[in-house]
Chain A
Amino acid sequence: MRRWLLAALAGTALTMAAMPAQAAWKSYINRELGFSFMAPGEVKASVGTYRGNIAGPRQTIVYRSVEDNIEYKVTVMSFIQAQAEGANILGEREYMFQDGKKVLVDTFARVEPGKDSVYGRKIVVDLPDKKGRSTGAFYFTKGKLFSFEATVLPASGDFASPDPGRFVDSIAFVLSRTEPGAVELKTPKLE
């Protein structure tokens, strides 16, 4: 009996040691920008750039983490002066995400129920030159374009991982839905 127990314990310990270390998923919230999401790993904020024919040149706010060779990235852009162009700006962003890539999924995405619904799209693409697989979800609400992208890198190789889906499906715009104790994200200053 004692031998059985010892063997079971040793087996569990060996299995856990062989598995890649995975960080816990945490909730993040940015009340100023009006959204929350969940991601694993250490989320770092930075400022980036984006350019689209319709959107023009834009500074972006980026929240990024990498965990187990999967990159999680949230990009927020403000279009307060062009909100009525939101459908077009969103369409252009979605188009650019999949342009020249192999599209595996391109479907409706909806966050929040009923009259609070925010409609967008979820797209999964294989990156060229076997650089990985990207899952993106895109929304335009309250004058801001939100992009959620999770990329399974070749070093991970687990292209069927449920983690990209978990990430892009964790978005909330009605902040009362955010888990209590979510980490408050600071908004980097734009120039």
Chain B
Amino acid sequence: MRLTALATLVGALAAMTAPATAAWRGYISHPLGFAFAAPGELKVEKGTYRGAVAGQHDALVYRFVDDDIEYKAVVIDMSDTANDAATLLGEAEYNFQAGKKVLMDTFGRVDRQYGRKLTIDLPNNAGRATAAFYFINGRIISLQATVLPANGDYDTPEMGRFVDSITFFTVRAEDDAIELPVPPK
């Protein structure tokens, strides 16, 4: 009996020393037509995307960091060049992995959308990133999760959980999904 109590206490202590991970929550953007799930605190940022074919475009970034894993949902508005969708998406995928060690490069198929999923090791031991890329409604939508060296668990299932949580049928979003804020001006 005393042994069982001791084991329980040790177990509880072990759980307390594990890194604190935030709960995953659902997020949805009705205007952008997609939803996903992520842990941690949401920050909305503006970025820039540049490609030889695409030229320069503003990017909207929904960013989270939890347990030294960075989660980003990147939206690049390509509506002015959407007729070149296939090449623009191909270029974004290519740029993501160019000069890096590719561990996975496979089809991504979600809600009648064909895209790609890639996993790469970043140069200089800067971490491992998994990303999914899709082109829908004149936008490149990319979910990217990067395990930073401070985390070090490069086989964590959290990266896959994040990129696979995307849906373009907003009815499939979690019932209590939080509406993503409108991009800052």
Contact = CB atoms under 8 A, between A and B. Distances in A.
A119 B91 CA distance: 6
Contact of B86 (A53, A106, A115, A139): A139
Given A83-B82, A114-B52, A91 B114 contact: yes
Contact of B87 (A53, A94, A117): A117
A107 B105 contact: yes
B84 A86 contact: yes
Contact of B114 (A88, A106, A143): A88
B101 interface: no
Interface in A105-163: 106-108, 110, 114-121, 139-141, 143
Nearest to A140: B86
Contacts of A117: 52-53, 87, 91
Interface in B152-171: none
Contacts of B83: 83-84, 86, 143
A141 B86 contact: yes
A95 B114 contact: yes
A107 B90 CA distance: 11
Contacts of B114: 54, 87-88, 90-92, 94-95
B82 A120 contact: no
A91 B107 contact: yes
User: Which residue among A87, A114, A141, A143 has the maximum number of chain B CB atoms within 10 Å of its CB?
Assistant: A87
Given A107-B105, A108-B93, A110-B94, A119 B52 contact: no
Contacts of A85: 85
Contacts of B113: 88, 91
A83 B135 CA distance: 12
B88 interface: yes
Interface in B96-115: 105-107, 109, 112-115
B90 A83 contact: no
B86 A86 contact: yes
B85 A83 contact: yes
A141 B85 CA distance: 9
B94 to A, nearest CB: 5
Contacts of B134: 87
29 contacts: A53-B112, A84-B83, A86-B84, A86-B85, A86-B87, A87-B85, A87-B89, A88-B85, A88-B112, A88-B113, A90-B114, A91-B114, A91-B116, A92-B114, A95-B109, A106-B105, A106-B106, A108-B93, A110-B94, A115-B52, A117-B52, A117-B87, A119-B53, A119-B86, A119-B89, A119-B90, A140-B85, A140-B87, A143-B83
What are the 10 tightest A-B residue pairs by CB atom distance, in nearest-first order? A91-B114, A119-B90, A140-B86, A87-B135, A83-B83, A86-B86, A84-B82, A87-B85, A87-B89, A86-B85
Interface of B: 52-53, 55, 82-91, 93-94, 105-107, 109, 112-116, 134-136, 138
Given A85-B85, A119-B94, A141-B84, 19 more contacts: A87-B89, A87-B134, A88-B112, A88-B113, A89-B86, A90-B86, A91-B115, A94-B114, A108-B90, A108-B93, A110-B94, A115-B52, A117-B53, A117-B91, A118-B87, A119-B90, A120-B86, A120-B90, A139-B86
